[in-house]
Amino acid sequence: MRVEGVPYCTSHVGVIAVTARPAGIWHKRWIMCAGELNLILRASNLLEASLAKIGQKKHFPAAHLLFAEDDGNAGVFVVASGIVCMSVKSLPRLDRLFGSGSVLGLPSTFTGKPYTLTAKAITEVDVVHVLREHFLLLMLRQPDLCRESTEILGREMSFIQSVMAERRRHTPPGAMAL
């Protein structure tokens, strides 16, 4: 989907979900399409509202970095409005666009390690920023929201694994890969 005034991300990476049917037949389906606004990191209304209660609303102009690859963790960001591009240094083919309801920064927030991707506002954005400590406390107190967050995390980790594989393919022999 093209969005007026928004650069088209050029990702060629997709995520395949495997689902089981009652009869025991496995089905694959494409759940993320190249360069589209997608729902892979979309929170339910309950998770989004719960994060809004404990987070701080912030407004950023286009081109503002919410967080950058290798930055220390500052928590999660829930996109309330606008569009954010998640990218990785030197691999623009893996850029992805996210809109309202997307939860960004989950892997780093769960692990406490630096961010593995960069989140940059493509349009003006309103986000809810939830500090790591507040997010983890919510996860402890609300197991249903923790389950949902870990499902979102799993989808994000699938993408990150594809990023790492792509990096390895583009790293010259003898150079240190991530």
At 45-81, the pLDDT tens digits run 999 999 999 999 999 999 999 999 999 999 999 999 9
- Helix crossing, 143-170 with 132-141: angle to 10°? 130
Instruction: Work out the percent of the chain whose per-residue pLDDT is above 70.
Output: 72
User: How much is the pLDDT for 174?
Assistant: 67
CATH superfamily of 35-153: Jelly Rolls (2.60.120.10)
Q: Give the model confidence (pLDDT) of 89-129 as tens digits.
A: 877 777 889 999 999 999 999 999 999 899 999 999 999 99
Write out the two tokens for 38.
């997608």
% pLDDT > 90, the chain:
53
As a whole number of Å, the end-to-end CA separation of the chain is 32
pLDDT at position 14? 41
Domain residue ranges of the chain, discontinuous segments joined by +: 35-153
Give mean pLDDT, residues 40-47. 87
Backbone angles phi, psi at 78, to 5 degrees: -105, 120
Mean pLDDT in residue range 138-167: 86
How much is the mean pLDDT over the chain? 79
Is the overall model pTM greater than 0.75, yes or no?
no
